[in-house]
Amino acid sequence: MLLPAVALYFISKMFGRLTHYAFDAVLFSAFLAGVKRSTGLTPSLKSEQISDNKEVKRWVDNYLGVGEWVMDQSVAVMGSSSWFERRR
């Protein structure tokens, strides 16, 4: 009976680690979106630097798109909250 408990422990540990890495990846993508909006700098997506594979390019575009979406949602929530105010 100890074996299923140990397996469950390691599966939950692995799931927690995977969730942590996914959250970190989204956070980094949102950081890149913020840099793009505030400075205009964006990662270079030239085919020679990444890959000639169209699938890889599509994954990179989707990854950066997630960061843009997270940034949009964060700005919308903060803009509607009384905890934040716009200063220009």
* Structural domain includes residue 19: yes
Tell me whether residue 67 is in a domain: yes
Query: Is the residue at 20 inside a domain?
Result: yes
- Would you say residue 25 lies in a domain? yes
Can you tell me the mean pLDDT for 10-26?
A: 92
Question: For residue 63, what pLDDT is reported?
Answer: 92
pLDDT score of 58: 87
pTM score of the predicted model: 0.75
Which stretch of DSSP H or E encloses residue 67? Answer: helix 54-80
The DSSP letter of residue 82 is T
Q: Is residue 48 part of a domain?
A: yes
40 occurs within a structural domain: yes
Q: What is the mean pLDDT of residues 67-76?
A: 94
**Could you tell me if residue 60 is inside a domain?**
yes
87 domain residue, yes or no: no
What is the Cα–Cα distance from 31 to 16, expressed in whole angstroms? 22
The domain tally of the chain equals 1
Q: Note down the domain range covering 55.
A: 2-80
pLDDT at 69: 96
- pLDDT above 90: residue 66: yes
pLDDT band at residue 5, thresholds of 50, 70 and 90? confident
